[in-house]
Each structure stands twice: as C-alpha cells, then as structure tokens.
Structure 1
C-alpha cells in the first residue's frame, strides 16, 4: 500500500465535521492533515475549539492539529466538505478550480448537471461525469463529487436492488428524522420534546429529485433521470440519531414480500467486491422481527454504514411496503463522502 494521501476537512468542528474526523483519524488510505473552520476557530488547536459531541473525546491524533481559516491555502489534494448548504458552493468551486478533489456533503452542487451525485453501491458509473465537469468548467485536475441527502441515501440503498429486479414505477415515503439531522444544537428542545414537527424545509423536494438522479443513467454527456414517481413526507422526531422511513412501492413486474426480502438481503455491489475500508459487508440488512428496525437498537449495524430494512409486507394501495432505518450522520453524511473517495481511490481517479 502506498503512502496515505493527505486530506482536509472543511467545517471540522460541526456535527458532520466531527464524524469526518472520527472516520478519517485512522483511515488506511487517507491521512487527516488539515482541519478548516470559521474565523472563531482559526489559529487555535482543534481540542480547544471543538465542542466534541459524538464520543467521549476526539481522536488523539487530531487534538493538537491547528484549525485553518477557509481563506488559507490548503496543501491536501483531497478535501471533504461538511460546510452548511448555502455557504459551501463558492468555497468548493474555488478549491476544485485550484486542483482539489472535493467530496461534499452539502446540498449546493448535488443537482448540478455535471456533478456526480454518488452512492457507490447504486451508481458508481456516474463518477465518469467528472470528465465532462472538468471540460465544461476549465478545471485541469480538480472536481466536485456530492453525496445525497441523509434520508435519500438510506432510501435509495433499499430501492436500487428492487428497481433493478422488479422496476419501481411509483413510491411513497414518510420519514421520521432524528434531531441530529438539524446539526448542533439543532431544533430547540421545547419544540421537539413531546412533539413531532411535520416539516423540514426543502427535504421532501430533495428526496424526490435526488432519487431520480441516483437511479438514472449517465450517457457520457448528461444525466438521464429514472422514470420513478416518488411522493415524500418529512417529519422531525425526538430521536438523537437514526432516520426511520416508511416506504410503499409499486413495481412494473410482480414481486412478493418474500421476493423483496431475498433481493435486499443478497444485495452486494462494487464497494463490497472491492473491499473498500468503510464499506459495510451488507449494504442492506434485513430484519424479520415484527417491531424492527428501531433507531436506538439498530442504527449502528455495520458501523452505521448500512440501511436496515424490516416489516416487509403487502401494500393494499401499491404492491409492497417496508421500513428503512439508517444512521444519518454516518452513512447519511460523512461516511457517504468517505466511501465515495475510497471508490475514486480504487478507480485510480485520485
């Protein structure tokens, strides 16, 4: 194995940034070399400015790393972005223009017509879009690759093998999304305790649009969306981590609940074949207990990198219905970007 590649994390002190730090601290292929934060944090040690919230303390290897400001030059060739939407766009473009390989969790570039919106088990061939991206934008070496919304990732991991096997024409999804999806401190406690908030701005539209792009095709010049009609309802619930989604789907070809369970449980794809370090052994884990999955019990299955599916049963309106659970800040955010970079590494694109 060659020397590890240096990487930087943008927004390193935030909730998703902390997950990046946790996942990259001992990575076999990448060396966490640079941390980037706001003016409040710049010039200080990471341990002094990061209000670490995801475990007892940050990894030892990053405690004394200095935090850089966004305007300081970066030496690392690979950049992971945990910047908030609306802020990320121009910063990521400037870095790509400067030759950096940017893997972003932000929403800003997900639906750009030349940016791969990538889930390695779902659409690894979309990575080829970076060639067109570079040509159109005049970038010699840099590029931007986005991972989807946290709810979309876990939904589409379950939909992909079913779409390939039976053809999905219509679907309805209702999400019960964890508080951590709003960042820290997120939703005020008095709004969420003893309550459900039936609105998350822009979330329903993201799920519907991103799913079509992910299940669609890259024809060498443009993305062609899948002809799947999806209706999404999104809710914020008083759960710390783990998005739960109830799903009903209509198939083009007949499939029973048993067929669906078998296809999901046997699903493997490129990350598993390539043995990518962050990839789950089973991207979709099927549980047959009547009251599972549950966030507190099942969100950490496969290190938080799998979609967990249960309650597969007939649907009296469409064809089949089931429940999907996924960890929203691991596979739904930082882990998704890290896995995208691992795929690019193995494909020789870094």
Structure 2
C-alpha cells in the first residue's frame, strides 16, 4: 500500500515578507517554507520531493485525503489544555517537570523514595521556576525495569500528587495502570501520561474517557524489560512511529476520549537505538500531521551519553537542553524535563530570539 507523509522543513525566523511562501506550524512560534513529501510503498520509501509552501495548493490536489488532512493538521493551531479550572495555551513550548517517586529511576535513583514531602518540595520548586505541569511517577520505565504492584505504586505517588494538587500545581500522573490513574485523578491529578499508550490495561482508556482529562500516548516497542533488546523497525522509524501513534489515536477516540485531549510522545529511548532517536529528533515536525499536541521527553536520555563520552545521567544537562531546543524549533508544545530552571531559561532566550524576529525592524530615515 502506498502512503504519503508531509514533513515541514526549511524553517524561517518570521513570516514577514513571505506572504504565501511560509506556513505557521500548528499555531506555534515556528514557520516553515518547504515540505518534504515522502512516498512509501509498503515499508520502503520510493520517492522524496521537496516542495515550497507556495506550491502546496497545487500539489495537494494530486495527493490523497490522508495527505490533505495532514496538511490541515500541520497548519491548524492546537487548542489549550484544560486542566480542571486552568487553561494552558499551546502557542509556545511549555515545560513539564519530572518528579520520580521511585527507588530505581534511571536519572535520580532513590532521591525521593519514602519521602513524599521531599518529592513534593521538588515539584513546588519546579513550579516556581516556571514549569507549567509536574509529572509524578511511581514506577520506573527505564530499560530493564520490572513492573511494580499497583498498590506500591499508589502508595508512592498519592501523597505527592495530593500535596502538589493542593498547592495549585497542574499535576500529571505517569502510569500505565488503571487503578493508579483513578487514585491519582481522585487526588487532583489532571493529566494521564501513559508510556503504554493505554495498551497495558484495557480499562485504562475508559478511566481516561470518564475523567475527561488529557492523556499522553507514548510510542514504545515492547515493554521496559525488553524494549532495548535490539529494537528493529520494518520501515524508517519516523514513519513507523507516525503510523503507530495514528492507530493509538483511533483506539483512544473509539474508547470515548476526545481527540483534542490527546497528546503524542515519540518515545525517545523506548525501544529505539541511538540512530532511531536521532532520526526522530530530526524529523519531529512530521508528527504534527496527526493533529495533536506533541510532547518531547528527551531529558537526560541514554542517547546523550552515547554522544558525549558516556556521560552519566546527572551530567547530561547540555545535551538535554540541545534536544529541548531542537524540539521547540520543530513545534513541540510540551517539553518533559528533569532540569526545569535551566530549560525555562533556555526557552526564554529562544522566545526572545523569536520575539525579536517577529518585531519588524525600524530603520531611521
């Protein structure tokens, strides 16, 4: 079967002077002037064409309905996230801070295990530093990690979620278990972040649908125990991830979850070798063609260490910021990070550059 994919590229600083020649990516702060049109026959790419935005109207006439829908999605703004009484606009990148209440997280180990007050204090500090959301997890999903009993997971996360929610923070629960989702949502969480994309337990989709909360669907290959055992893709990884996420969107919608509440995560490091991760980062803008906000979780990932003399997880700040800004450049609406103050500062500078570009220069006569 032949399939066509549209990837925005040739980004420009601002649209001034380019009427009809650039398009705004998903209502954010990035504009692109060309589209890479890739055609696959089955699992094999048979053609690649670079088309200027000004010619897309004519080109779309010869493409199929799916490609035309992808174009509409690429150029349509995303709705704000509704988190209880709070609205979070997605017209610029937002930071999601990570709080792992686990004894075996890949990046911060047992820093908070057994001490919900310390975990909550970290979340408070992240919010004060500019994080729009705090993602609380009680089960490590690092490569090789084993499942945690839902009772233990609830015991780890519930007091942290309660404390953060009581303070007014927008809390996300990082879990793949329906019972943990229910407990955390009942305690004030407003987003479900599921590394299994609602595939671990059949009941999870119903829990999210009833709660009417946003949900993050993350691409993965296998389980945390097996996902890094020589992962392999039959087609180029960027298109494989696109297709897989498209299928999970349809499953979620069929379960009663509104499409505007679905957020997509390409799953950096979840069943992917270094080259896979780099290809996904370079082609991230393609995912906007699915019409949902994009969350990027590349903070402190193994790929950074692989490219930087095997730097340990707590020494990957520079690489994390590089990937965060690469994601922002390609329109990622949410950046899930460990290092909130540094990422917020990097984004403020990035935003300053954008604002300067979007302010027409005045020249003295």
Same fold (TM over 0.5): no
In terms of fraction of residues, the more helix-rich structure is 2
User: TM (normalized to structure 1)?
Assistant: 0.31
